[in-house]
Structure 1
């Protein structure tokens, strides 16, 4: 009987040890405090369903570059400006989720130029005012705001010179970043350099220039100078990542 009891006792020890090892194995990889990266912005960053392929927002490709456990929350919405994103309530969803240690990437500008649907902001005042709301909300939550200037559109002159179509919005964002001590990723300048390095013809592949029937999403063809292809999104997000590695190395 004593032998049986001692055998059972040893068996229980083995079972308990296995449970302890299993528990450690399960808990070890979990990083409860891993930061998340929230992205607010417009259609150049936003998510697209497969039926819109190959149209791709650059933020859709950001997850591929980050460390395991770091989650991207792509909250960008097509057609929104820094103003309409707030006034339509889209930013409320972000504020409900963002927490201490997270990052908020803020990219607006394309639709701030437009006068329809209550989107327009003035780069000298209201644009900065709305961007400040994003920055303050992030900081109040203990998160880290990062400003990102808008990508350039595809627009070359006949002599191969790139036209800058974002006006004073990138300049205003840089000035606000200096004033409020917020890092700025100069994506407007970076994409300018990228397009000019590739040249007018190869740069087209960054965007949506397709013949009729080439893709189901564009049965009549398309010449879209603003939105990115898959390759375009990969190239643009790599420019974001270059600076983000310096700003937030813990994400990589």
Structure 2
């Protein structure tokens, strides 16, 4: 995870209006389009064309949305539950969110950086305390908060088995969801299972592993075990969308392509200009 920077904040401001509604209706009698807001870190955030094929799962979520659903991805690279709140980014979401909308809350990667006073939190004290602010804010505005445990990194042991890397943070989120009676998408468990099924080599097609010369944005290549390229972002977004569907967390008819093959070029990278 990168540190929060002026460039990252500028990027967040530029993509905040990127509401990915895949189609609209002109009929005055049509129901209001529900919006899914995403509050999270770099694994979920939107990346510009100058950073393609790097992509976040929130950036890919619109691929699975019908015209009845919009996605507003406010995730910020380098953010933790604490820093996102301290920067006023939750306030920005709460100013826009409306009754019937959803707020997906996914932090943990940077909360783990306990030596960083701007971002670090403790799983069972400050982490849960900050997450509760997202829950309370959404519920006070008639929106539905959904906690999403952190997607797993690409980590394999000497025997080729995928292993967990987030310590107590996923369980702390699970416990908070149960106590607060809010929906939970256990993306940590779902992604860990997927990486185990795929194995060490195949997961390179999901994460930002690029050979030198393959992408003009990464001329020397990349070997990133945390962030995704387009294929991985789409498939992690699929896990989230499938859970939204399975748990009936969205209005009927909000999602599509849940079991269909999706080409990487369906992903959109906004211009940085």
Question: TM-score with structure 2 length normalisation?
Answer: 0.80
Once residues 57 and 29 of structure 2 are traced to their aligned partners in structure 1, the CA distance between those partners, rounded to angstroms, is 28
Q: Please, which runs of 5 or more residues in structure 2 have no aligned partner? A: 1-24, 256-273
Alpha-carbon shift at residue 157 of structure 1 (Å): 1.3
Residue 55 of structure 2: SS of its match in structure 1? coil
Alpha-carbon shift at residue 118 of structure 1 (Å): 0.7
1:147-205 deviation line (CA, Å, top 9, x unaligned) = 00001001111210112110000000000000000111010000011001011100111
Alpha-carbon shift at residue 109 of structure 1 (Å): 0.3
Once residues 63 and 221 of structure 1 are traced to their aligned partners in structure 2, the CA distance between those partners, rounded to angstroms, is 28
Once residues 159 and 26 of structure 1 are traced to their aligned partners in structure 2, the CA distance between those partners, rounded to angstroms, is 56
Q: CA RMSD in A?
A: 1.4
CA separation of 1:128 and 1:26: change in aligned 2, threshold 3 A: closer
Match of 1:205 in 2: 205
Question: TM-score with structure 1 length normalisation?
Answer: 0.87
Runs of 4+ deviating beyond 4 Å: none
Match of 1:21 in 2: none
1:215-234 deviation line (CA, Å, top 9, x unaligned) = 11211211100001100011
Q: Which has the higher helix share?
A: 1
Alpha-carbon shift at residue 249 of structure 1 (Å): 4.0
Computing the radius of gyration over CA atoms, which structure comes out larger, 1 or 2? 1
Match of 2:262 in 1: none
Match of 2:249 in 1: 248
Q: Does 1:92 align with 2:91?
A: yes
Name the count of aligned residue pairs.
227
Alpha-carbon shift at residue 28 of structure 1 (Å): 4.5
Residue 226 of structure 2: SS of its match in structure 1? strand
Alpha-carbon shift at residue 117 of structure 1 (Å): 5.6
Once residues 100 and 66 of structure 2 are traced to their aligned partners in structure 1, the CA distance between those partners, rounded to angstroms, is 15
Q: Considering Cα pairs closer than 8 Å and 6+ residues apart, tell me whether 1 or 2 has the greater RCO.
A: 2
Greater Cα offset, 111-120 or 233-242: 111-120
Residue 118 of structure 2: SS of its match in structure 1? coil
